[in-house]
Every structure is written in C-alpha cells, then in structure tokens.
Structure 1
Amino acid sequence: TPEDRAMMHLPEDSYVVVVKSEVYLEDTRLFQYTESRHRLDRFKFVEFARRKSSLI
C-alpha cells in the first residue's frame, strides 16, 4: 500500500513482502494472528517447525 511504502521509504515500483501467520489451540480456536511487512530487498525467510511425535 502507499502507507507501507511511505513507512519503509520505498519508491513506487518496489514490492513489499507480507507474511501472515495463524496459531490455533488444540480445540481449534484461533489463539494468535500475526501480519508483518518486510522490504523485499532485505527479506530472508527461514522456517523451522518442531512437532510432538504422536504414539498410537
């Protein structure tokens, strides 16, 4: 948006990376919602997830 570009001091033809994340509780209720914006020229994404192993 123009506001994103102004806050990040970006020219009109620049892109912004928008990352959205949702975290749910065990009973499926939404617990956390995050939306962050990043400059494309300075953005690096690394994902790490740790999950409990389930024994049946």
Structure 2
Amino acid sequence: MLQSIYEQDFMDSFFGFRENRSCHDDLKILNVYLSQKNINYGVDADIKGFFDNVDHK
C-alpha cells in the first residue's frame, strides 16, 4: 500500500527495496555515471545499527 503512495515521489536513481529493481541495476547505472561524468568523489553510507546507538532522550 505504501509503495503505491510513495512510488511517484522516488527518483529513478533510487533502487533500494523497489519492485523490479536490484542492486545489480544500481551498479550498472553507477558504472555509466563513473565512465561518462567528471566525478570528484563518491559516498557510501550504511545506517545498519544507527537507531540502536541514537540517544532516544
């Protein structure tokens, strides 16, 4: 149900947990960006465990 509400707001470059998209699709697009554009830096973030460590007060 939430997918039908928010899918229209997602950018085409968002691949995580979306129907008919995979991490392999994301890597294909990333390869195109890296080979065709002048990229100065890249950022990779993993928020696993983030909310376990946030001060909830």
Report TM bin, short chain. under 0.3
Structure having the higher helix fraction is: 2
**Given the two structures, how large is their TM-score scaled by the length of structure 1?**
0.23
Q: Which has the higher strand share?
A: 1
Structure having the higher Rg: 1
Q: Which structure has the higher relative contact order (CA within 8 Å, separation 6+)?
A: 1
Q: TM-score, normalised by structure 2?
A: 0.23
